[in-house]
Amino acid sequence: MVPRFLTKNVLARGGTVVPLAAPMEGPLSLPADRLFWDVYHVHSSLVASRARHAEMLQFAATHGVKPTIELSKHTGAESVTKAIERLESGKVRYRLVLEFE
38 and 51 in a common domain? yes
85 and 53 in a common domain? no
Residue pLDDT tens, the chain, 101 long: 456 555 556 677 888 877 766 667 777 777 787 778 888 888 777 667 778 888 988 999 999 998 888 888 888 888 888 988 988 888 888 888 888 87
5 and 48 in a common domain? yes
Distance CA 9, CA 7 (A): 6
27 and 76 in a common domain? no
86 and 53 in a common domain? no
Distance of CA 34 to the CA centre of its chain: 19
pLDDT of residue 69: 87
Number of domains in the chain: 2
* Domain extent for 100: 67-101
Distance of CA 51 to the CA centre of its chain: 23
12 and 32 in a common domain? yes
Residue type, 40: Y
pLDDT of residue 7: 58
42 and 80 in a common domain? no
